[in-house]
Structure 1
Amino acid sequence: MPLDSPTPAAAPLPPFAARAASVGGSPVREILALTERPGVISFAGGLPAPELFDTAGLRAAYDAALTGPGAARALQYSTTEGAPELREAVAARASARGLPTTADEVLVTTGSQQALTLIAATLLEPGDTVLVENPTYLAALQCFGLAGARVIPVPCDERGLLPDALAELTARERPKLLYTVPTFQNPTGRTLPGGRRAEVARTAARLGLWLVEDDPYGDLRYEGDHQPWIAAHPGAEDRTALLGSFSKVMAPGLRLGWLRAPGALRRAAVVAKQAADLHTSTVDQLAAAHYLGAADLDAHVARVREAYRARRDALLAGLGGALPQGSGWNRPEGGMFVWARLPEGYDAGALLKSAVAHDVAYVPGAPFFTGTPDPRTLRLSFTTHTPAEIAEGLVRLGRALG
C-alpha cells in the first residue's frame, strides 16, 4: 500500500466483560476526592489518624529488615503463603484472642480486601447467591458484583443480623456464603451480640453455609465486653474464613492483611493469589514482623483507642445540635463509625452538595444497601479529626443541613 494511501478504518475492539460494566465505582472514593482540598473537615473516610502512626517504630522496623542478616531476603521474591515470621505473629495474636491458630492456617494478603477477593474467586461461580448484612461494607458489594454473584440482604436490627431471618433465607435461597462484619460494622458501627454469633455458627453448620467473617476493627474497642469471633464458636470451625488487617492498628499504607481459613479453602486461596500477585510485598512483611517483635503493638493500640474514644465522644456530644430535630443515631462501642438517620423527607445524598459547600463532608448511607436503600441514612467517621475539629465540623454540618 502506498505511504500516502488513506488508513483503513480500524475494526471495533471487543467489549469489556459484562461484570466490568455492571459494577460501578465507589461513591466513598469519589467523595474523598471532593474533600481533599485544604480546610474541609471530613467525616467521610474510614481512615486512621496519620498523626497517631508509630512512624519512628515503623522506620526502625524497615531499617532492621533492610540491614540485618536477612537484608537480601527482604528485596527478593517470597512464598505465596507469606513470610513465616509474620504468619507466626498473626497466629499468636489470634490465639491470644481466644482462637487457637497455627502459622500454617494463615495466609498473608495484600490488605484484607485482597483476602475477600481471593475468597470470592475461590468459592463463587456467576449466579451463586451471597448473603450480606443490610447495609454492608461497600467494597464487599463491589467484590461480589465482579464475581457475578446474586447478593441478598439479611434483615437486621440495631444489633446486627437476625439469626431467624438468616436461617430462613439460607434454607430458601441455598447461598454459598454469608459475609459479615460482626464487630463495629462498616458502615453502622454496630456489634453482633455473642448469642447471635453462636446462632450464626449453628445455622451455618446445620444448613451448609460458608462464613466470611471480616474483622478490621476488632482491636478498636472503647467500652463494653470483648465478643469472641464467630470462628471460635462450635459449628464454625470447618467453614469460616476469618479476615484480619494491620491497616487500622499499624498503618494502611503497608497494605498487609491476613486470612485464616480451613485447609482446603486456604490452599485454593493460595492458588488464586499466585495468579493475582505471586505474593505480598516481602519487605513490608518483614518490616511488620520486626515491628511486632520489637515494639509493643498492644500499647500502641491502647494509645490509639484513647484518642479515638475522645473523638467518638466529641462527635456524639455534638450530633444533637448538628442534625435536624427528629434525627437518630447509635453509640458504637468501638470502631470508626457512627450511623445516623435524618427525619422523614430528608435525603442525605441530595444534601451532600450543601455540606461540601460548607467545607464539611459525610458519606450518604444509600450506597451501602442491597436492594431498596434508605436515603435518610449517613455514615460519620470520627477518627481523623481532633475533638476541637469535630466540634467545628458539626457546626458547619448544622448550617448545611439547616
Structure 2
Amino acid sequence: MSTSKFVHIAATIEKKIDNGEYQPNSKLPTHRLLADELGTTPATVAKAYKLLNDKGCVESFIGKGTFVRGHSELDQAIQAPEDDEHHYNFSLLQPCLSKNLPALKHAYRESADQLTNSLIGYTEYTGHESHRAAGVKWAQQYGLQGGNTSNTLLTNGAQHALSLLIDSLSQPGDTLLVDELTYPGILAIASMSGRQVVGVTLDEHGLCPHALTAAIDEHHPALVITIPRHQNPTGLSMPEWRKKAIAEVINQTHTWLIEDDIYGFLDEQTVAPIANFAPDYTFHISALSKAISPAMRCGYLKVPNGQVALLQAHIRANMWLSSPINFIAATQLIESGKAFNLAAEQRETAQERQKIARSILTAVTCHASGYHIWLPLPSQWQPDRFTLEAKNRGIIVTSGSYFCANGEQTPHVRLSLMAINSEQRLISGLQALQNLLTTDMNSFFPG
C-alpha cells in the first residue's frame, strides 16, 4: 500500500474523532477489523494508528487495543492566576492560606533541623514509619478505624492517590462508577488514562444505594469512587446510615471502593467513613491539602490489608517514595496537635464565610458548611455563558458543566469561599456576583 493510503485512513479517523463519531476514551476497531472494512491490510491500519498516536489523537495499550485519547479541561475548571489581586478567584478549593502561613513556616524550619542521613535517603515501604503513624493519627481523628503503619501508605496528596488507585485497580477501557456530579480531577484522570466513566445518581443524602446497585449490575465496573463528606461540587454529606447502606452494596458485590475523604475535618461531629463498614474493599484517602496547604503534598492512603503489596509496588515503580521533607513538617504539625487546631480554624472560617455568602447571594438555599457553594443559576443564564461573563469582570467561577460525569448540563456554578484571603474582598466579589446573577444574559449575548 502507498504511503498516502495510511495517511488518508488516519485523516478519516481523525475527522470521526473531531465530529464525535469516535468519543474520547472509546476503543477503536482492531487492525484486522478495520482493514477488512476498508479493503486494506492490517499493516496499513497499524501505520495509520501510529500516525494518530504521534499526533496525540489516540493511544495504544498492549493487550487492550487503541483508544481515542481523552482530554482534560481541569485547567479551565480550576484556575490559579499568577496575580490574584486583580481577580476574585472563586474556583480554587483551598484553605484560607494567610491563617496557616506562620505555622507552616515554623514547621518547615523545624523540619530542616530534623534532617538525618536516614531521612534524606531511600527507605522501604514507600515512606518512614513515623510519617505513616502520623497519617494514621490524622485520619483517626476524623473517624477512620483500623488504620495502622502497615496498611497506611504515603502519597503526594489526594490527587496522586486517586491516580495511583485508578492505575493499580483498573485497565484502559474499564468502567469507573463515580458520583454523577463529581470533582473534575477524577474525570481528568479517567479521561487521560482511557477509562470509561459512568455517573451514579445522587440524592439529598449523597450517593444513592439503589442506583449504585443497578449501575454495578449493568456496567460491571472495576471500581467505584465517591466523595462522602462535603461533596465536591454539591456540598452534600452522607449521614452514617447512608454510609452503611453504601458499604452493604460494596460488601455484597465485592466491588472496590475509593473513598475520597479529604473534607472530613470540616465536620463538627465525627462521622465514621464508609471504610469502617467495608474495610476489605475500601481504599480511604485523606490528605492535608485542604486543611493545611496545597503545597504540603501529604496524602494518607489506607488500603485493604490484602492490597498493600500491590500498592507498594506501584508506588515504587511510579516514584519510589513521597518526599520525606514534606512529611517531616506534616508529622511535626500532627504530633504537636497544631494540625488539628489549624483544621478547626479553617472549619470555623468556612462556616463564617458560608453565612456571609448566604446573606449576599439570594439564590443560595442550601446550608452547606464546607469550603464551597453549589450555586443555582437563574433561568436566563447558562453556566458556561455566566462563567465567561464573570471572568470578563475579573470574577473566576467554575461552570457546572465541568462536574457532569454523564455529559449532561446542570444550571449551576461552583463557588469556593476560601481562596480569597481578605474577607472584605470576598464580600466585594460576592456582591459583584449577585449583580451579575440579576442581569439579563441577553444584554451580553443578544439573539
**2:140 pairs with 95, 109, 115, which one?**
95
Match of 1:196 in 2: 242
Deviation at 1:245, TM superposition (A): 0.5
Per-residue displacement from partner, 1:193-226 (whole Å, max 9, x unpaired)? 22111111111111121110001111023x5x43
After TM superposition, the structure 1 = structure 2 runs for residues 76-155 of structure 1, keeping only pairs within 5 Å, are: 76-96=121-141, 97-155=143-201
Per-residue displacement from partner, 1:307-356 (whole Å, max 9, x unpaired)? 22111211121110xxxxxx4542213x2111122133420111222212
Q: Which runs of 5+ in 2 are unaligned?
A: 1-49, 60-66, 440-447
2:87 paired with 1:40: yes
For 2:210 and 2:314, the matched residues in 1 are separated by: 34
2:230 paired with 1:184: yes
**1:261 pairs with 294, 297, 303, which one?**
303
Q: Is the 8 A contact 1:184 1:190 kept in 2?
A: yes
Q: Is the 8 A contact 2:94 2:289 kept in 1?
A: no
2:93 paired with 1:51: no
Specify whether residues 177 and 329 from structure 1 end up closer, same or farther in structure 2 by C-alpha distance, changes over 3 A only: farther
For 1:34 and 1:246, the matched residues in 2 are separated by: 22
Deviation at 1:298, TM superposition (A): 1.8
Specify whether residues 368 and 276 from structure 1 end up closer, same or farther in structure 2 by C-alpha distance, changes over 3 A only: same
Q: Is the 8 A contact 1:80 1:273 kept in 2?
A: no
2:433 paired with 1:397: yes
Deviates more, 1:272-281 or 1:13-22: 13-22
Count the aligned residue pairs.
Answer: 379
**2:385 pairs with 336, 346, 350, which one?**
350
User: Counterpart of 2:150 in 1: which secondary structure?
Assistant: helix
User: Counterpart of 2:375 in 1: which secondary structure?
Assistant: strand
Which structure has more relative contact order (CA 8 Å, sep 6+)? It is 1
Deviation at 1:108, TM superposition (A): 0.3
Specify whether residues 368 and 63 from structure 1 end up closer, same or farther in structure 2 by C-alpha distance, changes over 3 A only: same
For 2:78 and 2:178, the matched residues in 1 are separated by: 24
Q: Is the 8 A contact 2:138 2:334 kept in 1?
A: no
For 1:249 and 1:352, the matched residues in 2 are separated by: 27
For 1:35 and 1:366, the matched residues in 2 are separated by: 25
Q: Is the 8 A contact 2:156 2:299 kept in 1?
A: yes
**1:365 pairs with 394, 400, 412, which one?**
400
**2:336 pairs with 294, 304, 312, which one?**
294
Query: Structure 1 length normalisation: TM-score?
Result: 0.87
Q: Is the 8 A contact 1:341 1:377 kept in 2?
A: yes
User: Counterpart of 1:314 in 2: which secondary structure?
Assistant: helix
Deviation at 1:360, TM superposition (A): 1.6
The amino acid of 2:160's aligned partner reads Q
Specify whether residues 368 and 124 from structure 1 end up closer, same or farther in structure 2 by C-alpha distance, changes over 3 A only: same
For 2:296 and 2:328, the matched residues in 1 are separated by: 11
User: Counterpart of 2:176 in 1: which secondary structure?
Assistant: strand
The amino acid of 2:89's aligned partner reads S
After TM superposition, the structure 1 = structure 2 runs for residues 196-215 of structure 1, keeping only pairs within 5 Å, are: 196-215=242-261
Q: Is the 8 A contact 1:28 1:44 kept in 2?
A: no
The amino acid of 1:83's aligned partner reads H
Please report the RMSD computed on the Cα atoms of aligned residues, expressed in angstroms: 2.3
User: Counterpart of 2:154 in 1: which secondary structure?
Assistant: strand
Q: Is the 8 A contact 2:139 2:286 kept in 1?
A: no
Match of 2:71 in 1: 24
After TM superposition, the structure 1 = structure 2 runs for residues 276-295 of structure 1, keeping only pairs within 5 Å, are: 276-295=318-337
For 2:150 and 2:83, the matched residues in 1 are separated by: 42
Deviation at 1:400, TM superposition (A): 2.7
Per-residue displacement from partner, 1:52-87 (whole Å, max 9, x unpaired)? 11x34333333333324x533343233352121111
Deviates more, 1:243-252 or 1:36-45: 36-45
For 1:226 and 1:109, the matched residues in 2 are separated by: 24
For 1:307 and 1:144, the matched residues in 2 are separated by: 33
2:373 paired with 1:331: no
Per-residue displacement from partner, 1:345-396 (whole Å, max 9, x unpaired)? 4201112222122222211111110223224111011112344322211221
Specify whether residues 393 and 95 from structure 1 end up closer, same or farther in structure 2 by C-alpha distance, changes over 3 A only: closer
Specify whether residues 213 and 312 from structure 1 end up closer, same or farther in structure 2 by C-alpha distance, changes over 3 A only: same
User: Counterpart of 1:253 in 2: which secondary structure?
Assistant: coil
Query: Structure 2 length normalisation: TM-score?
Result: 0.79
Identity %: 25
Match of 2:109 in 1: 63
